């Protein structure tokens, strides 16, 4: 198999025999829903491939290649009357620079649209009865000239706009006053972007433009475009399009089985590969429908499959570097008042992130405002793919969670920077973790948490004072997705362990233990001690406190049950060490 990692051109994928998951069966429904559609998905989720699929399907110049391109696909077996009936024009706003003055950005926008109109004129020169005039300073005039040419033919225009919000997002997230000024100049009054979309809206009123399909990541720009472009219908959350971009598990499983067979892997190892991909890449749900299947990020899945096929092994780094840019979105939230606590809540899953509804329109004023509430931050993270729909609370509120382990890694990296900003401290922590993995002695690691992390947790900005807080410290220190499949609160026998680290299959050749933790918390008030008194106690004295003993006893009982489940699940390959850890306030730790 040839995997089209990094390739978003449908024509190339089909004609060069690349792996392709057929979603063309959705085209008839897209036609029925409306003439101006907006489809939002996180970056690197296959939106550009979808657009090029539509471009090839509707392009009048590709009529002679319809059977070659679509004959083996769902839409080729049941085509709609509109196939190959349009002139197709594409704009890609990810190519518009977001730096410079407002005038320079506006000119970059005009330059991009003009370049696409030149390509359009060249592609259809045999079909257009008159030449298109390009106005270097005014792309709207160029667009109107193209429409005039189209109107002299029996066909109409289909406009595809990719990443409509890309450069606007970059400006809005910059957080600088100059960014706001430049953004306002593009979208307020008769700003260049707003005027361009007004021209699109006007062209659809009998001036040659019949259909528009727009992709983007978030609705950030929509609020500011409302008066200029209020005719699009957002289809992103409709259940029937949940997997329009993204792979279903059955598709991933079949592909992995084929690769495993070529690698001469037994069936159980093919199942192991699926479990790896599920853990690291699955988990996205783009609709609130309760029965919607979670889908896989296609870029990450292709990254894995290509490496797996080439080497018959898993990628060491499961986070494709092309997705690592999402760190910036998490960093943006971390920089906001209350953002750090929200990241802690998200990683801990308690309390669950819940909101009445996803914010569907917010503009630059919302992005740059000094105070942002939890629903705004949660909505923002959901649009950018680092949170996803999980279900509903008993009162009907939407709940959100982290989709998978590669995204969890992005959160944990940011939380580590928040809690331990000193890079030398982070290096020291890694060295102590390496020592712990070799010796099994948790004492140096516990001392490090007491000395470094507890000082931060005492900050009033972080409101939780329980075992979740302690778990966060150990989670950020121990997280290592190259060596471990790591989960916070995995389900074990219908209850939840606080933290497990299971060695990745290909890493079992090294001296790495599997790890299981149960954390407990004892408030200082429960032992009637002040902070100074607690710190003055020896380790042995802390351990003999009755509430601490009770928590250790409870943790032992929990661990015994979890160990049994893990032994049944992993068998003889498991090299399990289990730890009960009790925190006394944010001052002392004891463990066994």
Q: 466-482: per-residue pLDDT in tens? A: 677 788 889 999 999 99
Residue 27: pLDDT band (50, 70, 90) is very high
Helix or strand run (H / E) with residue 581: strand 576-584
Long-range pairs for 250-255: beta carbons < 8 A, 24 or more residues apart:
251/21, 252/277, 252/278, 252/296, 252/301, 255/1, 255/19, 255/305
Q: 492 or 192, which is more confident?
A: 192
**What's the full length of the chain, in residues?**
592
- pLDDT score for 175: 54
- pLDDT score for 435: 96
Percent of the chain exceeding pLDDT 70 equals 90
Please tell me the distance from the alpha carbon of residue 277 to that of residue 284, in angstroms, as a whole number.
13
Residue 62: pLDDT band (50, 70, 90) is very high
Residue 335: pLDDT band (50, 70, 90) is confident
Asked if pLDDT for residue 86 goes beyond 90, the answer is: yes
Residue 367: pLDDT band (50, 70, 90) is low
Please tell me the distance from the alpha carbon of residue 151 to that of residue 391, in angstroms, as a whole number.
49
Report DSSP letters for 472-540, one per residue.
HHHHHHH--TTTEEEEES-EETTEE-SEEEEE-GGGTTSS--EEEEEEEEE-HHHHT--HHHHHHS-HH
- pLDDT score for 176: 56
Which residues make Cβ contacts (< 8 Å) with residue 298, sequence separation at least 6?
21, 45, 46, 245, 246, 247
- pLDDT score for 307: 94
- The percent of the chain in helix, strand and coil, each rounded to the nearest 5, is 50, 15, 35
Residue 48: pLDDT band (50, 70, 90) is very high
What letter would DSSP give residue 135? -
Please tell me the distance from the alpha carbon of residue 182 to that of residue 101, in angstroms, as a whole number.
7
Cβ-contact 418, 343 below 8 angstroms: yes
Asked if pLDDT for residue 223 goes beyond 80, the answer is: no
Residue 364: pLDDT band (50, 70, 90) is low
- pLDDT score for 466: 63
Q: 256 or 322, which is more confident?
A: 256
| 10-241 CATH pick, 1.20.120, 3.40.50, 1.20.5, 1.10.3470 | 3.40.50
Q: 279-333: per-residue pLDDT in tens? A: 898 889 999 998 899 999 999 999 999 999 999 999 988 887 766 667 888 888 8
Which residue do the tokens 């079992």 mark? 508
Q: 517 or 459, which is more confident?
A: 517
The first and second tokens of residue 585, run together, are: 């306030």
- pLDDT score for 97: 82
Residue of 45, 134, 30 whose CA lies nearest to 388 = 45
Pick the range with the lowest mean pLDDT from 27-41, 265-279, 353-367. Answer: 353-367
Longest dimension (CA), the chain: 92
Please tell me the distance from the alpha carbon of residue 393 to that of residue 396, in angstroms, as a whole number.
5
Phi and psi angles of residue 97, each rounded to the nearest 5 degrees, phi first: -65, 140
Section 136-154 average pLDDT: 95
Asked if pLDDT for residue 204 goes beyond 80, the answer is: yes
Q: 427-451: per-residue pLDDT in tens? A: 999 999 999 999 999 999 999 999 8
CATH 3.40.50 in the chain, residue ranges: 10-241
**Torsion from C-alpha of 555, 558, 563, 569, nearest 10 degrees:** -140
Mean pLDDT of the chain: 88
Which residues make Cβ contacts (< 8 Å) with residue 10, sequence separation at least 6?
49, 52, 53, 55, 56, 69
Strand 588-591 relative to strand 576-584, pairing: antiparallel
- pLDDT score for 472: 85
Cβ-contact 561, 498 below 8 angstroms: no
Section 236-261 average pLDDT: 95
Q: 510-556: per-residue pLDDT in tens? A: 999 999 999 999 999 899 999 899 999 988 999 999 999 999 999 99
Residue 115: pLDDT band (50, 70, 90) is very high
| C-alpha count within 13 angstroms, C-beta hemisphere, residue 282 | 15
- pLDDT score for 219: 84
Q: What is each CA distance from 103 to 97, 188, 245, 371, 381, in whole angstroms?
A: 12, 14, 35, 30, 31
Pick the range with the lowest mean pLDDT from 109-113, 460-464, 535-539. Answer: 460-464
- pLDDT score for 323: 64
Cβ-contact 125, 61 below 8 angstroms: no
């Amino acid at each position: 198999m040839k995997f089209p990692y990094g390739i978003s051109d449908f024509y190339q994928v089909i004609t060069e025999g690349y792996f392709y998951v057929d979603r063309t069966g959705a085209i008839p429904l897209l036609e029925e829903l409306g003439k101006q559609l907006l489809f939002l998905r996180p970056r690197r989720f296959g939106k550009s491939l979808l657009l090029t699929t539509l471009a090839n399907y509707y392009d009048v110049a590709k009529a002679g290649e319809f059977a070659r391109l679509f004959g083996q696909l769902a839409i080729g077996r049941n085509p709609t009357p509109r196939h190959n009936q349009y002139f197709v024009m594409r704009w890609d706003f990810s190519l518009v620079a977001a730096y410079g003055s407002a005038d320079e950005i506006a000119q970059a926008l005009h330059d991009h649209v003009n370049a696409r109109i030149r390509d359009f004129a060249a592609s259809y020169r045999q079909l257009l009865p008159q030449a298109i005039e390009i106005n270097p300073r005014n792309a709207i005039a160029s667009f109107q000239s193209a429409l005039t040419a189209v109107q002299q033919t029996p066909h109409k225009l289909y406009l595809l706009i990719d990443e409509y919000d890309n450069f606007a997002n970059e400006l809005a997230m910059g957080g600088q006053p100059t960014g706001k000024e430049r953004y306002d100049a593009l979208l307020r009054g008769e700003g260049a972007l707003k005027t361009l979309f007004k021209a699109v809206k006007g062209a659809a009123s009998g001036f040659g433009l019949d259909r528009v399909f727009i992709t983007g990541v978030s609705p950030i720009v929509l609020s500011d475009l409302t008066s200029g472009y209020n005719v699009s219908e957002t289809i992103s959350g409709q259940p029937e399009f949940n997997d329009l971009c993204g792979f279903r598990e059955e598709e991933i499983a079949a592909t992995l089985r084929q690769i495993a067979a070529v690698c001469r892997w037994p069936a159980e190892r093919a199942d192991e590969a699926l479990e790896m991909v599920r853990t690291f890449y699955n988990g996205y749900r783009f609709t609130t429908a309760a029965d919607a299947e979670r889908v896989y990020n296609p870029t990450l899945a292709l990254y894995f499959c290509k490496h797996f096929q080439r080497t018959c092994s898993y990628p060491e780094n499961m986070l494709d570097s092309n997705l690592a840019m999402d760190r910036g979105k998490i960093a943006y939230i971390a920089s906001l008042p209350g953002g750090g606590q929200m990241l802690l809540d998200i990683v801990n899953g308690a309390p669950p992130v819940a909101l009445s509804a996803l914010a569907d329109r917010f503009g630059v004023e919302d992005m740059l405002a000094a105070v942002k509430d939890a629903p705004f931050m949660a909505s923002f993270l959901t649009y950018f793919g680092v949170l996803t729909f999980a279900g509903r609370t008993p009162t009907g509120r939407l709940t959100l969670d982290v989709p998978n382990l590669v995204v969890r890694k992005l959160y944990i990296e940011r939380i580590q920077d928040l809690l331990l900003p000193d890079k030398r401290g982070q290096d020291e922590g890694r060295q102590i973790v390496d020592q712990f993995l070799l010796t099994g002695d948790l004492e140096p690691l516990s001392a490090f948490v007491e000395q470094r992390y507890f000082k931060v947790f005492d900050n009033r900005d972080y409101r939780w004072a329980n075992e979740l807080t302690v778990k966060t410290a150990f989670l950020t220190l121990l997280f290592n997705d190259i060596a471990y499949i790591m989960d916070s609160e995995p389900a074990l026998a219908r209850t939840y362990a606080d933290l497990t680290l299971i060695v990745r299959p290909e890493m079992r050749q090294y001296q790495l233990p599997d790890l299981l933790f149960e954390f407990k918390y004892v408030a200082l008030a429960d032992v009637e001690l002040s902070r100074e008194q607690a710190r003055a106690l020896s380790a042995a004295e802390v351990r003999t406190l009755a509430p601490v003993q009770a928590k250790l006893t409870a943790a032992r009982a929990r661990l015994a049950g979890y160990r049994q489940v893990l032994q049944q699940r992993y068998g003889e390959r498991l090299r399990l060490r289990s730890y009960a850890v009790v925190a006394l306030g944010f001052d002392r730790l004891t463990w066994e």
